[in-house]
Amino acid sequence: MMLLSWSVVALAVGGLASAAPARRANYVVHEKRAAEPSSAWTVSRRLESDKILPMRFGLTQRNIDRVEEILLSISHPDSPTYGKHLSPEDVIEMFKPGSETIDVVKTWLVSSGIAPERIRISGNKGWIELNATVAEAEDLLNTEYHVYEHESGPEQISCHSYSLPEHVQPHIELVKPTVHFNHRITPGKRVPEKLKKRTGKLGAPSPYNGPKTNGETPSVTPTLDYCDEYIMPACLRALYNISYTPTQTGKNTYGVVEFTPQSYLATDLDMFFSNFSPSLVGSRPTLVSIDGGYPQSQNQSFDYNGESDLDFEYAMSLVYPQKVTLLQTGDMVEGAGFDNWLDAVDASYCTYDGGDVPSQDGIYPDTSPGGYDGPESCGVIAPPYVVSTSYGQDEVSATPAYAIRQCNEYAKLGMMGTTVLYASGDYGVAGFGGYCINATTGEESLNGTRFNPDFPSTCPYVTSVGATQVSPGYTVYEPESAAETVIYSGGGFSNIFAMPSYQATAVKHYLEAYPPPYTATQYNNSGNVRAFPDIAANGVNYIIAIDGEFELVYGTSASSPVIGSMITMANDARLAAGKGSVGFLNPVIYTPQFASAFHDITNGTNQGCGTTGFTTEVGWDPVTGLGTPDLTILMRMLLDLS
Chosen residue from 21, 188, 215, 592 binding ligand NAG by CB under 6 A: 188
- Please check if 527 is assigned to a binding site: no
> Is 445 a residue that touches ligand NAG (CB under 6 A)?
yes
Distance between CA atoms of 139 and 132, rounded to whole angstroms? 10
d(Cα 574, Cα 570) in Å, to the nearest integer? 6
- Judge whether 36 and 443 are in contact, CB under 8 Å: yes
Instruction: Note whether 520 binds ligand NAG by CB under 6 A.
Output: yes
Assess 332 for contact with ligand NAG (CB under 6 A): yes
Number of residues that bind ligand NAG (CB under 6 A): 35
What is the C-alpha to C-alpha distance for residues 452 and 529, in angstroms, rounded to an integer?
14
- Shortest CA distance to 387 belongs to which of 251, 589, 535, 564? 564
Task: Kindly provide the residue ranges of all beta strands, DSSP E only, lying in 302-390, ordered along the sequence.
Answer: 325-329, 386-389
Q: Length of the chain, please? A: 642
Q: Looking at beta carbons only, is 270 or 303 nearer to ligand NAG?
A: 303
Nearest approach in angstroms of CB 336 to ligand NAG is 12
Position with the least CB separation from ligand NAG: 187
Look at residues 199, 200, 182 and name the one whose alpha carbon lies nearest to residue 191.
182
Q: Which of 112, 219, 438, 612 binds ligand NAG (CB under 6 A)?
A: 438
When the beta carbons of 84 and 160 are compared against ligand NAG, the nearer one is 160
Residues 117-176 contacting ligand NAG, CB under 6 A = 120, 129-131
CB of 493 to ligand NAG, least distance (A): 8
DSSP lists the bridge partners of residue 31 as 162
Considering the complex, what minimum distance in angstroms separates the CB of residue 119 from ligand NAG? Answer: 7
DSSP of 148-214 = EEETTS-EEEE-SEEEEETTTGGGEEEEESSSPPP--B-TT---S-SGGGG-EE--SSSSEES---T
Nearer to ligand NAG, 39 or 81 (CB): 39
Residue type, 373: D
Closest CA to 567 of 437, 356, 386: 386
Instruction: Give the active site residue among 289, 471, 557, 559.
Output: 557
Q: Does 612 sit near ligand NAG (CB under 6 A)?
A: no
Residue 511 corresponds to which amino acid?
L
> Residue 621 annotated as binding?
yes
618 binds ligand NAG (CB under 6 A): no
Q: From its phi and psi, is residue 268 left (phi > 0), alpha (psi between -120 and 50) or beta?
A: alpha
Classify each residue of 286-315 as buried b or exposed e, where b means 16 or more C-beta atoms within 10 Å of its C-beta: eebbbbbbebbeeebebbbbbbbbbbbbbb
Q: Which of residues 529-588 bind ligand NAG (CB under 6 A)?
A: 529
- How many CB atoms neighbour CB 103 within 10 A? 11
**373 has catalytic annotation:** no
Choose the stretch contacting ligand NAG; rule: CB under 6 A; options: 286-294, 311-319, 445-453, 586-594.
445-453
253 lies in the site for ligand NAG, by CB under 6 A: no
Bridging pattern class, strands 598-599 and 628-629: antiparallel
Stretch that binds ligand NAG, among 167-175, 372-380, 421-429, 625-633 (CB under 6 A): 625-633
Cα–Cα distance for residue pair 130/140, rounded to 1 Å:
12
Q: Which of 43, 281, 287, 498 binds ligand NAG (CB under 6 A)?
A: 498
- Kindly state the smallest distance separating residue 451's Cβ from ligand NAG, in Å: 12
Selected from 481, 560, 571, 616, the binder of ligand NAG by CB under 6 A is 481
User: Closer to ligand NAG at the Cβ: 329 or 524?
Assistant: 524
- Three-class SS state of 29: strand
Is-contact 178 143, C-beta < 8 A?
A: yes
591 part of the interface to ligand NAG, by CB under 6 A = no
Residue number, 572 or 630, with CB nearest to ligand NAG: 630
Binding to ligand NAG, residues 189-248 (CB under 6 A): 241
Q: Is 549 a catalytic residue?
A: no
Binding of residue 15 to ligand NAG (CB under 6 A): no
**How many alpha carbons fall within 13 Å on the CB side of residue 509?**
14
Residue 601, marked binder: yes
Flag whether 600 is marked binding: yes
- Residue 249 near ligand NAG by CB under 6 A: no
Between 93 and 151, CB nearer to ligand NAG: 151
The residue from 129, 311, 313, 376 that is catalytic is 311
Tell which one of 37, 126, 177, 187 touches ligand NAG (CB under 6 A).
Answer: 187
* Identified catalytic residue from 307, 309, 394, 444: 307
Q: Which of 287, 292, 295 is nearest to 372 (CA)?
A: 292
Contacts of 414 (CB under 8 A, 6+ apart): 71, 74, 75, 420, 461, 583, 584
Span from 89-97, 370-378, 518-526, 613-621 in contact with ligand NAG (CB under 6 A): 518-526
Tell me whether residue 49 is one of the annotated catalytic residues. Answer: no
- The pattern of x and - marking residues 26 through 55 that bind ligand NAG according to CB under 6 A reads ----------------------------x-
Q: Using an 8 Å Cβ cutoff, are 226 and 207 in contact?
A: yes
Q: Closer CB to ligand NAG, residue 26 or residue 596?
A: 596
Task: Give the residues across from 255 on adjacent strands.
Answer: 325, 387
Annotated binding site: 600-601, 619, 621
Give catalytic residues, as residue numbers. 307, 311, 557
The residue ranges that bind ligand NAG (CB under 6 A) are 54, 120, 129-131, 187-188, 241, 261, 298-299, 332, 353, 438, 440-441, 445, 447-449, 471, 474, 481, 484, 498, 520, 524, 526, 528-529, 603-604, 630, 632-633
Annotated binding site for Ca(2+): 600-601, 619, 621
